[in-house]
């Protein structure tokens, strides 16, 4: 299955209640797959093509505010359009899954894969102090696995979760083991699990309100403090990463998504050449695997951040490492992916 199709099927299997989206390359297969699959007949899942990404994210807001498992997907320019809605979702603390199959920018850019939306995903993107949990799949299998994981985290913390993929992972085909079907929640279950949701007021409670508005500054500051406390809990509990050949490494590559796949191969080749190269792959970009980086910062000659961008994640690595070791960046842009030769060349430069 293609990465995009695996993600779409996984959405049905995750017991997702609704998908709202607008077509854009390179992720249109997600909605195309869902429309062809007619999940209404399988699980009762709603699939709707909205009039814009702005409408899509606000349909998600409506559904999420009513306690449903809802999601949308798009690619970079469309995700930019959604930023207002994402800020509102974060402010109103609503759970949902947003998929970004990243293409090169800025502007209309290119339809080829890129990783230049890192900042937008992990630093906020819309207005205000907020974070999204950001998961970066690097295989078709993870495209499938991260949908249910995304919903679990979204509801655990009442937070939007972004699956930050890219055109290459979305378009490629690999073997995939699909998860088992989860049931969709009944209205009664939603009322019990999400007592905050606007499902309709019952006599035993006051009216539920979903809003991000606090006109009083002190109330708004307190709301912000609570959000920050939640993000801290997430940092403490939800860091995900994978490391290979790091224990004895002289240089460690830091890469996620498609770049991490290429780096795996670079590590294989380098080890054959006798270069002690390792790979640390952040799976969650927020929260960022800070402790793992700090652990290795004192042991290695340097970190090389490999990204399909001008250098975004590298800024976070530098913040964490605080000068304890050299931190270099190698990136390609505009839809071009780095090659193993280029990566190894940069590793050699770092060692010397």
Partner 1 sequence: MTEEIIIAGFGGQGVLSMGKILAYSGIMQDLEVSWMPSYGPEMRGGTANVTVILSNERISSPILSQFDTAIILNQQSMDKFEETVKPGGILIYDSNGITHHPTRKDIQIFRIDANDEAGKLGLKKVFNMIVLGGFLKIKPIVNLDNIHKGLEKSLPARYHHLIAENEKAITRGMEIIYQVDPA
Partner 2 sequence: MSFETHKFNSHIAVPENLVYAKTPLMNDKPLSYCPGCGHGTIHRLIMETVEELDILEDTIGIAPVGCSVLAYEFMGTDVQQAAHGRACALATGISRLYPDKYVFTYQGDGDLAAIGTAETIHACNRGENIVIIFVNNGIYGMTGGQMAPTTLPGMKTSTSPFGREQKDAGYPLKMTELVAHLPGTYYVTRQSVHTPVNVRKAKKAIKKAFELTRHKKGVSFVELVSNCNSGWKMTPVDANKWMEENMFPFYPLGDIKVPSK
Which residues of this chain interact with partner 1, rule CB under 8 A? 25-26, 111-112, 167-168, 171-175, 258, 261-262, 264-265, 268, 337, 339-341
Among partner 1, partner 2, none, what binds residue 268 when CB lies within 5 to 8 Å by partner kind?
partner 1
Residue 276 binds partner 2 (CB under 8 A): no
Does residue number 201 form part of the binding site for partner 2 (CB under 8 A)?
yes
Q: 111 touches which of partner 1, partner 2, none (CB within 5 to 8 A by kind)?
A: partner 1
Rounded to a whole number, what is the distance in angstroms from the first to the last CA of the chain? Answer: 43
Nearest to residue 351, comparing CAs of 234, 267, 251? 251
Closer to partner 1 by Cβ: residue 211 or 273: 273
For residue 274, the number of C-alpha atoms closer than 13 Å in the C-beta half-sphere is 0
CB of 68 to partner 1, least distance (A): 32
Min dist CB 225 to partner 2, Å, is 21
Angle between helices 140-157 and 3-13 (to 10 degrees): 40
Q: Is residue 88 a contact residue for partner 2 (CB under 8 A)?
A: yes
Q: Which two tokens stand for residue 346?
A: 């940069």
Q: Does 39 bind partner 2 (CB under 8 A)?
A: no
- Decide if 278 contacts 252 (C-beta within 8 A): yes
- Nearest CA to 285 out of 254, 252, 329, 245 is that of 254
CB 268, min distance to partner 1, A: 6
Nearer to partner 1, 87 or 112 (CB): 112
Query: CA 317 to CA 244: how far, in whole Å?
Result: 18
Told to check if 210 binds partner 2 by CB under 8 A, we report yes
Nearer to partner 1, 91 or 170 (CB): 170
* Residue 78 touches which of partner 1, partner 2, none (Cβ within 5-8 Å per kind): none
Binding partner of residue 79 among partner 1, partner 2, none, CB cut-off 5 to 8 Å per kind: none
Closer residue to partner 2 in complex, CB, 55/161: 55
Q: Are 267 and 277 a contacting pair, CB within 8 Å?
A: yes
Give the count of beta carbons closer than 10 Å to the beta carbon of residue 43. 17
For residue 116, how many C-alpha atoms fall within 13 Å in the half-sphere facing its CB?
24
Among partner 1, partner 2, none, the one that 172 touches (CB under a kind-dependent 5 to 8 A) is partner 1
Residues 49-68, interacting with partner 2 (CB under 8 A): 50-52, 54-56, 58-63, 65-66, 68
* Length, in residues, of the chain: 352
Contact stretch for partner 2 (CB under 8 A) within 192-200, 267-275, 303-311, 324-332: 192-200
Which of partner 2, partner 1, none lies near 207, with the C-beta cut-off 5 to 8 A by kind? partner 2
- Measure the CA–CA gap between 169 and 69, rounded to whole angstroms: 24
| CB 281, CB 255: distance < 8 Å | yes
* Look-up of token digits 């690619």: 75
> CB–CB of 324/296 below 8 Å?
no
Query: If contact means CB under 5 to 8 A according to the sort of partner, which of partner 1, partner 2, none does residue 168 touch?
Result: partner 1
Nearest to 98 by CA among 79, 113, 119, 80: 79
List all residues 6 or more positions away from 15 whose beta carbon is below 8 Å from its beta carbon. 43, 69, 151, 181, 182, 183, 184, 185
CB nearer to partner 1: pick between 83 and 340: 340
d(CA 11, CA 43) in angstroms, rounded, equals 11
Interface map 109-148 toward partner 2 (x if CB under 8 A): ----------------------------------------
340 binds, among partner 1, partner 2, none (CB under 5 to 8 A by kind): partner 1
Beta pairing partners, 279: 244, 253
Question: Which spans of this chain sit near partner 2 (rule: CB under 8 A)?
Answer: 17-18, 20, 46, 48, 50-52, 54-56, 58-63, 65-66, 68, 70, 84-85, 88, 92, 187, 198-203, 207-213, 215
């Amino acid at each position: 299955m293609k990465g995009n199709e695996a993600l779409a099927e996984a959405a049905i299997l995750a017991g997702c209640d609704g998908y709202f989206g607008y077509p854009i390359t390179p992720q249109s297969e997600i909605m195309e797959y869902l429309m062809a699959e007619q999940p209404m007949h399988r699980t009762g899942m709603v699939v709707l093509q909205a009039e814009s990404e702005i409408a899509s994210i606000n349909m998600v807001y409506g559904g999420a505010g009513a306690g449903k498992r809802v999601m949308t997907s798009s690619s970079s320019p469309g995700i930019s359009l959604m930023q207002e809605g994402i800020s509102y979702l974060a402010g109103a603390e609503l759970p949902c899954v947003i998929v970004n199959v990243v293409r090169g920018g800025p502007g209309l850019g290119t339809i080829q894969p890129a990783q230049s939306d890192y900042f937008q995903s992990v630093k906020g993107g819309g207005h205000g102090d907020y974070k999204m949990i950001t998961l970066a799949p690097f295989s078709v299998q993870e495209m499938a696995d991260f949908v249910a994981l995304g919903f679990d985290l979204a509801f655990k913390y009442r937070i939007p979760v972004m699956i930050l993929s890219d055109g290459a992972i979305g378009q490629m085909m690999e073997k995939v083991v699909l998860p088992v079907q989860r049931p969709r929640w009944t209205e009664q279950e939603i009322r019990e699990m999400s007592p905050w949701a606007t499902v309709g007021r019952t006599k035993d409670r006051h009216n539920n309100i979903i809003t991000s508005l606090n006109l009083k500054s002190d109330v708004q500051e307190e709301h912000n403090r609570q959000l920050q406390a939640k993000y801290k809990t997430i940092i403490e509990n939800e860091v995900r990463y994978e490391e290979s050949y790091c224990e004895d490494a002289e240089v460690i590559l830091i890469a996620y998504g498609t770049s991490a796949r290429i780096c795996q191969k670079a590590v294989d080749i380098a080890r054959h050449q006798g270069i002690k190269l390792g790979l640390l792959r952040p799976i969650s970009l927020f929260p960022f695997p800070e402790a793992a980086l700090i652990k290795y910062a004192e042991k290695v000659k340097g970190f090389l951040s490999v990204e399909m961008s001008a250098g975004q994640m590298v800024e976070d690595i530098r913040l964490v490492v605080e000068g304890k070791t050299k931190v270099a960046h190698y990136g390609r842009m505009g839809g071009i992916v780095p090659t193993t030769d280029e990566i190894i060349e940069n590793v050699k430069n770092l060692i010397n």
